[in-house]
Homo-oligomer: A and B are copies of this chain.
Amino acid sequence: MPVAKKIASFIGRSSFIREMFEAGARLKAEFGAENVYDFSLGNPDLEPPADFKTVLRELIDDPTRGRHGYMPNSGWPDVRAAVADYATTEYGPKFSADDIIMTVGAGGALNVALKTILDPGDEVIVPRPYFVEYDFYLDNHNGVIKRADTNPDFTLDLDAIAAQATAKTRGVLINSPNNPTGVVYSEDDLRGLSGLLADLSRKNGRPVYLISDEPYRKIVYDGVQVPSVFMHYPYVLCGTSYSKDLSLAGERIGYLAVHPEIPDKALVLGGLVLNNRILGYVNAPGLMQRAVARLQGRCVDVGIYKKRRDRFVQGLREAGYELTVPQGAFYLFPRSPIEDDVAFVRLLQKENILAVPGSGFAGPGYFRLIYCVDEAVIEKSLPGFKRAMEAAKA
């Protein structure tokens, strides 16, 4: 075998998502891309805010030497100071530059966090459905994923989380606004979860971390506020990126914010910075660090996503689909009209519609649709959704 056995099996496991991609490529080749309704990949289609280019031009004209060279593994100190100032206003506690580690996107932040805290076999509880990469991220660091059910509206079920707790629990990983459901966890739920983690830390005799993945924090609708995970508990590691709020997904820029009052802080920060280095990231891309430092708090026009969401929800409901209206992110997670969500996604393909089965997110019986596409695509796809619903019921 030319590759590791595990990797060969991973390639096999991920094959049904690949199957969707391949089906999509076939459909696009046969019918033309404009006649295929691709709701499969969460790649923000809005351009970055206009002054992103202005900022980049200014940075390029900056004659300071060494701007493209190595900096501390945690990132440029002035960038981290700017992010810390913003994090203070966004999250509540007073952050300093040391509490911020610039990372290769939120994916980098999560891997750095997990490698830092996980002894082999340690467990992390994840409410489901969840972003499919978490399985891999935990496996990367010899961790074990424990899935906890959520309520029917996808809000946190604290009892279900408590039921997954063991002596090996090292963390709970949450993602709010959530991919794939768009749900935002409430202040009450975060307080309850924090209490549960505090109790479990005492019982286990070692810290149980709240790991928060927040790349959609600014993509929220209807005046919803995403509560801060930092308000009730000190063992908090929060990873995020500028992939969605600034539409910079391909530039791989994000950060990890560490609770300013975390105990044994020097050791935790030392581990995180070491791991940012030794995982091969070394540091977050330098130019993009400087760019985002000047765009703190900025966001693309969320109103555009909201308009699409509203039209998509309305159209799907008219076609007979059952779904929770998402409060954030740019995903819908409707119930599959038939139990087998993979089979239903194949029915959608017959209408040239590409979606991802909920099974891909440990949420069987549902399917995921993105709405980071032009409203016209949504509009044109609706008759196909109607026909697929009829076919499913036939």
Contacts and interface: CB of A to CB of B under 8 A. Distances in A.
A107 B257 CA distance: 24
Contacts of A314: none
Interface in A245-262: 247-253, 262
Interface residues of A, number: 78
A133 to B, nearest CB: 6
A271 interface: yes
Nearest to A143: B4
A2 B117 contact: yes
B119 A278 contact: no
A136 B73 CA distance: 15
Interface in A1-20: 1-8, 10-11, 14
Given A280-B111, A281-B107, A10 B267 contact: no
Nearest to A105: B282
Given A107-B281, A279-B279, A274 B70 contact: no
Contacts of A281: 104, 107-108, 252, 280-281
Contacts of A56: 56, 60
B247 A69 contact: yes
Contacts of A116: 3-4, 7
19 contacts: A3-B264, A5-B119, A7-B116, A7-B271, A8-B271, A10-B274, A14-B274, A41-B70, A47-B65, A47-B68, A56-B56, A57-B57, A68-B250, A70-B249, A107-B280, A250-B283, A252-B284, A252-B286, A287-B287
